[in-house]
Amino acid sequence: MPTIFFRTQQERDKDSAIERVISESTPRPEFFVMVLLSVLMATFGLLINSAAVVIGSMLIAPILSPVLSLSLGLVTLDIHLALRSFYTLLKSIVMAVLAATVVTFVFAPIAGLDWQLNSEILSRMEPSVMYVLIALVAGFAASFALLRQELNASLPGVAVSVAVIPPLAVVGIGFATLHWDMLVNASWLFMANLVSIMFAGMLVFFFADLHEKHALVKKVVKREDKELEKELEKANGKNGKS
């Protein structure tokens, strides 16, 4: 990627991007609540073959943040951030697939929803080179927009193009209906999108010289972990009193 794109990059913008991506990928309870809500919305949208509902689920999905923080952790060689991001991603994936499976198995028959291979589900069962290219472009766009505060408003649009939550929902639908082709193909699409976004993020962060920000990354991660620990202790204290 031509370094000319980063010649006018302000150091404060880089620092702000690091703080934002680490903060938004911190495994707080509310993060996983949003993951759960987004996959529930995506699953219902897929079952009723509604593109609008599926798009809405992508807009509220926070899963792009841990993908980018994993890229940042690898670029800065911060093992703690990389493992932390991987944990957040893995937990999000398991939660998303389980939620989609339960929704399809329990609610689809009750509501009379048709899980058959409609257009929305089929489009998440066709992994191809084009999807990889789209994910790469989306990863570049997300990472670059993150580094420029004036472009941050573009991130919701990028989240739609990334489309990692709907394939996970299709994996859950595949589990619930024992449709193994659906499960395998949607899993491949999800992994292709995930790896492509992560790779694009690593390239952008490298050319933006974020690999020189290891000390800041370490500081922000430590601060966020302490804040999370305090929040969890406070919540556990309240639950104990009640």
Give this prediction's pTM: 0.86
Cβ 5 vs Cβ 207: under 8 Å: yes
pLDDT at residue 229 in the model = 87
Domains of the chain: 8-231 (1.20.1080)
pLDDT at residue 1 in the model = 46
pLDDT in tens, 119-148: 888 888 877 888 888 888 888 888 888 887
Q: What is the rounded CA–CA span in Å between residue 122 and residue 128?
A: 13
Structure tokens at 218: 């370490």
Cβ 196 vs Cβ 132: under 8 Å: yes
Q: What is the rounded CA–CA span in Å between residue 182 and residue 180?
A: 5
User: Locate tokens 């794109």: which residue?
Assistant: 5
pLDDT in tens, 23-33: 988 989 999 99
pLDDT at residue 128 in the model = 80
Cβ 167 vs Cβ 125: under 8 Å: no
Structure tokens at 27: 């495994």
User: Locate tokens 């406070």: which residue?
Assistant: 234
pLDDT at residue 135 in the model = 85
Residues of the chain with pLDDT under 50: 1
pLDDT at residue 97 in the model = 95
Q: What is the rounded CA–CA span in Å between residue 25 and residue 8?
A: 27
